[in-house]
Every structure is written in C-alpha cells, then in structure tokens.
Amino acid sequence: MSGKRPRWESEMFASIGPNAVACKTCMFRSAVINGHQQDNADCGNCEIYEYPESKPNEVYFDGAECEFYEKADDRPLALIMGVAVGDALGVPVEFKKRGTFYVTDMQGYGTHNQPAGTWSDDTSLTLALADNLLPESYELSDIAWGFINWYDKAAYTPHGKVFDVGNATAEAIKRLKKGVTPEKAGGTGERDNGNGSLMRIAPLTFYMFGIREAEERFRIVRDVSSLTHAHEWSVAACYIYVEMLNKLRMGRKKKAAYAELREDFARGVPFISKATLGKFVRILENDISTLPEEEIRSSGFVVDTLEAAFWCFMTTDNYKDAVLKAVNLGDDTDTTGAVTGALAGLAYGLDSIPQEWREQLAAYDEVRRIAVAMPRWDYFRKIA
C-alpha cells in the first residue's frame, strides 16, 4: 500500500452503471448533453473507457494524482474562505445605500465598528454547520447545538462577540433552547423569508456526494434550512443555490453549470410548488446575467439575495470582481458578499481569492481549521 492513496467510492461511482464511461485519469464520469459527449474540462487528459462488469469498493491512485483531484482537495477551503472573505468585505458597509460608497479592498469599522477582516453571522453559522456535519449522516440536533453555542457562548465568532443577528434566526434559536424540535424551530410565515438560512447552507454541497435523487437532496436542504427558516420560499432558494454549488463542485464551468441548472428545473421539479418556483423565474427561466444592475435588488429578502448573488457571479469572471460587485450593491452587503463568495470561491478555486484578503481575516486559523477538517464525502461515503 506504500505510495498509494485509498479513496472510498466517489460521487462518480455513486451514479454509474457497470458499462458507464469515465476518464482513466481522473475518474470523472462524462455526460451526454444535447447529443454531445462532455469530458472533464479541468482534467486535461480525459481518456474515455468502459468500466468492467463490477465496480470496485475502493480506488487506489499510484503516484501523482490527476490535476482535477489535486485542485479538488482545496474545494472545501475555497468554499469556506469564499464565504468568509465576501462577508468581511461587506460588514463595514452593511445597510448603506447603493451609490453612496465604493469598496475596493478590505476595510474596517463602519457600520458595526469592527476591525478589518471581521466576519459576521453569515460565516459564523456557516462554520457551525460545517463543524457539525458527519461523514455518514447529518444530525439536526448537532447542528442546532452548534447554533445555540454560537448564540449563547459566541462560539464560531471572530472576536468572541455575537453581532448582527437576524430576527428569524434569533427567534428560531430561542425556540430550540425551549425544547422545540429542530424540524419545527424555523419560522413558516411569509415574513420569515430573510436570507438567514441561505447565507449558511453552502457546506451542504460537500454532503451531497453520491446522493443521486434530487428529491432526497431537497429533503436534506429543507431539513437544514428549517432549523431557522422553514417557509417554502427560503427552502427553495437554498435548494436552487446548493444545486448550483453541486454542479460547480463537480467541475462544471459556471456557464455550463447555470445552463444545466435551468434545464433541470425546466424538466420539472414536482417537490416544489409551481407558485414557489414562480418566485425564481428570473433565475430559472430567464438568464439573470442579462439584467441591468438597476433591476437587481440587494435587500435581506431571500429571493433578492439569491438573484443578486447569481447576477454578480454570472456577470464577472473572477472571485475578486464578483464579491466586490456584490458588496457594492449596498443594503445587505455582508450576506450578498458571502453567498456570492461561495459560488465564486468554489468555481475559481482557493488561489483566486486574494491572499492578502485571506490573511486579513479575523480568526483566520480557526476558519481554515474547520474548512480543512470538514469531512470529504467523496472519500468516505460508501454506496450500498
């Protein structure tokens, strides 16, 4: 076994049959889209071959791995750093109106009087989720306990102080503390559709390895969103967002990922009502990147935040420009920056996030520790 690195069946093995085609080098399963074979563009040496009659339970790589997997090792860190940096850029200017300021770099103080690099509840709850996911299962009670520790004891905070807590999140955590079950803690009214679950849901993409059924992925997203936000609009927003992250996590380029997302929903999503899907027409039926800035809202309403994040991501071509565009939309700047940052961090990789911004992050070592320690389900999940 010397020099060999074991991996449990990856997400690719989860969805292939015995005669499916895949790359010998990176094990990426190619797909047929519109009649054309799609290889892994990130690999560089994709070579298609037929799998044998039975697929192995473990895969061993001799020597250097395919570049795709070398880059893939940074994906959890790129995602979490993407959230934290986008959040920190937005904290000093939160609630400011568009056009009254212009952010070009990490800065401090401002709205919340915090030093440069300080991140808010967006990152805190993202870390709490990431730190309480398990390789073989997710326990809502564990995640809820992480949220309570943050709220009561300032766990997962940059300076040992909780600030800028959303009303719906605070009320849900109070219900959890009173003994309400996690499944019933989140608000269910139309007024409970702030962006408080969307801002923290990104780590779930790394739990989605090997989960083939869309309805099962939706159920997981619904459960985790409903800890604080249980209304169907919030749940649907989280699901759309995580599905986009899933495609980016699998190596899709952003335009291809967005096209696939829209095709998926065009084929029908029976577990989300048509009325709810109607809230997301500008993302799912139209190409949101074609809209002018004046039609993009950046409030704390979950639909506005999702639209703004998709728009910033799809109208730029690198992490820095995406998150600066998000923050400069004004209003809920930290959350728009965080949600955009997850998309851009995962799409462009860790190196795309300016090193000086990463190094300026408050509690950088703790953010990195949780991201690196997050279970890699492509390594560990066994497929029955």
Sequence ranges of the binding site: 120-122, 332, 334-335
What the block records as the tokens of 217 is: 């992925």
DSSP classification of residue 204: G
**Angle subtended at Cα 363 by Cα 164 and Cα 134, rounded to the nearest 5 degrees:** 85
Write out the binding residues for Mg(2+): 120-122, 332, 334-335
- CA torsion sign, 304 to 307 to 312 to 313? positive
Nearest to 130 by CA among 179, 200, 196: 200
> Which segments of the chain does DSSP mark as H helices, in order?
11-14, 67-72, 75-90, 121-131, 140-153, 167-177, 214-225, 232-249, 254-266, 274-277, 281-284, 302-314, 319-327, 333-348, 355-360, 364-373, 377-380
**Angle subtended at Cα 241 by Cα 89 and Cα 76, rounded to the nearest 5 degrees:** 65
Q: Is 117 strand, coil or helix?
A: coil
Distance CA 194, CA 305 (A): 9
Which residue in the block uniquely carries the two structure tokens 């408080």?
196
Nearest to 339 by CA among 155, 144, 79: 79
Distance CA 323, CA 111 (A): 18
